[in-house]
Structure 1
Amino acid sequence: MPKLVSVTRILNEDDIAEAFIRHNARHVGHMLFLDNGSSDRTLDILRALQAEGLPLSVVQTHSISFDEVSLNSWGYQAASQLFGADWVVFIDADEFIATQDSAPLTTLLPADAPAITVQLINYGQTELDDPNELIVPLRLRHRWAGETNVDKLILRAGLPGVSIGAGNHCAFLGSGILPARRHDLVSFAHYPRRSGWQILQKMAAGWLKALAAGHPAAEAGHSEHYRSPFETIRDKPGELFRNSGYFTREFGLDQAIEAPLDYLGGTLCHTLPTDPAMKAAQMFLSFTERLAIQHGRLLDESPQARALVETWNAKRDFLF
């Protein structure tokens, strides 16, 4: 049986991390997490699950800005060279592997393709959700009725010269895209929004990450899906914060299909109830504090950066 290693970027996902690991461990032989500086209980949960014997490793990155392509590509090389992968699956911390009849994913991998793509299926909040259910795939039982038209990537390990694109939707080989075959017996159940507060914090931090990375990331469209929600929060916050309906559901039942994931992870041992609004405020302030600290360090350590800021400070423009 081929060895499948997952690569997952993770940041402040303590509400879903344990369920994610317990479920997806039924499909993969090892999990590699690339933590981007979690400040909630995510790392505590990962340590506890590793101590239980679940096959996972955690690497922490130190840059708070956007560098997804190089990070993904490093993860692919690490899965191939350090963890002996035959195949590598790129899966975010809010995505759960789903297969026909819950068959092990390793039994469905093709013998004659360098890569496959699988459909992303979006689940979200409805008014029927039980807020006391901590296992996210059991709480969020309704999927969006429309197609996402988004695929995610699973590819053979050890392919020379491969880099992984932003979002893990495709891989590049030289100047072209690595050929990939769509696999209709596998999908990823996607739970990006577990509460209105959680998704607002994620969207705001996501766009600030892109801006902090400078021109290439902010203007190449890699994080464009964060931009509009961020601008709404910035320019018209009342449209969200005073809209109680926004926080109780993502879409109506007329737009949804009840199709719960066959969750394979069992009970949770380390996940705790949280207040979504309080957590969102804490996570956003923690993120912006780290961003400010890194900016300050750049000024302390780079004469060029210091000179540029001093130029900005000295500049005066008459506006009217």
Structure 2
Amino acid sequence: MKIAGISMIRNDADIVEPFVRHTLRLLDHLFVIVHSPEDGTGEILKALHDEGLPMTLVHYGEPAFLQGEGLTWLARQAGAALEPDFIFALDADEFIVPADRGAIESALSELPAGIPAARIRLRTFVPTAEDEPKEPNPVRRIRHRSRSEIKVDKLVLTAAFSADPMLVLDHGNHGLLRIGASAQQLRMPPLRQLALAHYPVRSAAQLTNKTIVGYLAHLAAGRPKVEELRLATHWRRCYDDMVVQGATRGMTDAQLIAWFHGRHDGLSNEGELVCDPTPAADPLRYAHLVQNDPYATLARFAEALIRARPGHLDGVRFDHCAEPTTVASPPAAGAAGQTRA
């Protein structure tokens, strides 16, 4: 059985090395769109590639976030290059569990023949006050996950997807759409024996970066309003709270993380969390390349966005303005209402 992974990665410097090492312990090859990162992610991916790991890097310079289109293209490229039986569509904060190749092959072999994809569930891991703050690997540091699994799935593609050019990945890798049909996702069977350990929030700096740059990159895609609302509702809510309303101003790091998760218990692990650490045996070699400064990342994103759209202000110059409106001369000294010094 041949299994590949595809991913579109931007600003995930703090987790991209453990993601790549974990994924390539389990899969045969990883295809990555390197999406103009501003936080050291690109340098880390290059270093991993230079180690000789089985991965293909495709550099994409457009700042806007076009994930569905990009990963559909990448899945086609992976299918042509490797002819895999299955392709996991993964974000850099998603880790396949159990971390066992035999268990993965067993689960995939039980899927019905001819289906283009299967759904794989997410298990969301949450930072707590028990985490070791000096541990640089977030997969080792964040050991608790929610007992309840959110009703959001990701996809594992099959060879039938590669054979059908009318199928495309929906944004976020949450479903498949058929070109020319309604925007409703196709129904897919669940892959119950596997899950994705999901680490959406690892630090306050990473969360700030994720919220602001993430939403602006969605906005830069220039989608129709209805499509933007469908794809970026969560991003918009977080962006409004953080930037427009200022609801997070003055929060501690722990409070900010709890706010994102909609939790108000000070990151206590009692009740709704269970300790279920994901194996993370590999030591980090490139932690020194992480640039987890949200302000610098935002500035670099803004610069990239401006440089990607040169000339948009052409013609907007003062010498192209209309003639100035005539203004009456000021009253002479000594006129009514004026006094001399």
Q: Please tell me the TM-score bracket, short chain as reference.
A: 0.7 to 0.9
8 Å contact kept, 1:126–1:248: no
- The aligned counterpart of 1:318 is none
CA gap 1:101/1:81 in 2 versus in 1, 3 angstroms: closer
The structure that has the greater radius of gyration is 2
Moved more, 26-35 or 170-179: 170-179
Q: Give 1:221 shift.
A: 1.8
8 Å contact kept, 2:168–2:178: yes
Structure 1 residue 222 corresponds to structure 2 residue 231: yes
- Tell me the alpha carbon deviations over residues 83-103 of structure 1, each in whole angstroms, 9 at most, x when there is no partner: 332211100001100028674
8 Å contact kept, 1:153–1:169: yes
SS state at 1:82 partner: helix
- The aligned counterpart of 1:155 is 157
CA gap 1:178/1:17 in 2 versus in 1, 3 angstroms: same
Contiguous gaps of at least 5 residues in structure 2: 262-266, 323-341
Q: Give 1:145 shift.
A: 2.9
- What amino acid is the match of 1:262? P
Write the distance in 1 (CA, Å) between the matches of 2:42 and 2:96. 22
- What amino acid is the match of 1:145? R
Contiguous gaps of at least 5 residues in structure 1: 301-305, 315-320
Q: Give 1:227 shift.
A: 0.5
Structure 1 residue 252 corresponds to structure 2 residue 268: yes
- The aligned counterpart of 1:211 is 219
- What amino acid is the match of 1:270? Y
- The aligned counterpart of 1:112 is 112
SS state at 1:167 partner: helix
Q: Give 1:162 shift.
A: 1.6
8 Å contact kept, 1:200–1:229: no
- What amino acid is the match of 1:291? L
- The aligned counterpart of 1:295 is 309
Q: Report the TM-score when normalising by structure 2.
A: 0.80
- The aligned counterpart of 1:233 is 242
Q: Report the TM-score when normalising by structure 1.
A: 0.85
Write the distance in 1 (CA, Å) between the matches of 2:242 and 2:177. 35
Question: How large is the RMSD of aligned CA atoms in angstroms?
Answer: 2.6
Q: Give 1:120 shift.
A: 0.6
Q: Which runs of 4+ in 1 moved over 6 A?
A: none
- Tell me the alpha carbon deviations over residues 7-37 of structure 1, each in whole angstroms, 9 at most, x when there is no partner: 1110121111110011111211110111110
- Tell me the alpha carbon deviations over residues 194-221 of structure 1, each in whole angstroms, 9 at most, x when there is no partner: 0122112111112212222224266342
SS state at 1:240 partner: coil
8 Å contact kept, 1:6–1:88: yes
- Tell me the alpha carbon deviations over residues 153-174 of structure 1, each in whole angstroms, 9 at most, x when there is no partner: 0011323122111110111234
Write the distance in 2 (CA, Å) between the matches of 1:88 and 1:275. 30
Write the distance in 2 (CA, Å) between the matches of 1:143 and 1:79. 32
SS state at 2:125 partner: strand
CA gap 1:297/1:155 in 2 versus in 1, 3 angstroms: same
Write the distance in 2 (CA, Å) between the matches of 1:219 and 1:247. 25
Q: 1:124 aligns with which of 119, 122, 126?
A: 126
Write the distance in 2 (CA, Å) between the matches of 1:100 and 1:69. 27
Structure 1 residue 262 corresponds to structure 2 residue 279: yes
Kindly tell me the number of residue pairs found equivalent between the two proteins. 301
Write the distance in 1 (CA, Å) between the matches of 2:255 and 2:291. 16
| Identical columns (%) | 27
- The aligned counterpart of 2:173 is 168
8 Å contact kept, 2:86–2:156: yes
Moved more, 208-217 or 87-96: 208-217
SS state at 1:108 partner: helix
Structure 1 residue 135 corresponds to structure 2 residue 118: no
- What amino acid is the match of 2:268? G
Write the distance in 2 (CA, Å) between the matches of 1:72 and 1:139. 30
CA gap 1:28/1:274 in 2 versus in 1, 3 angstroms: closer
SS state at 1:296 partner: coil
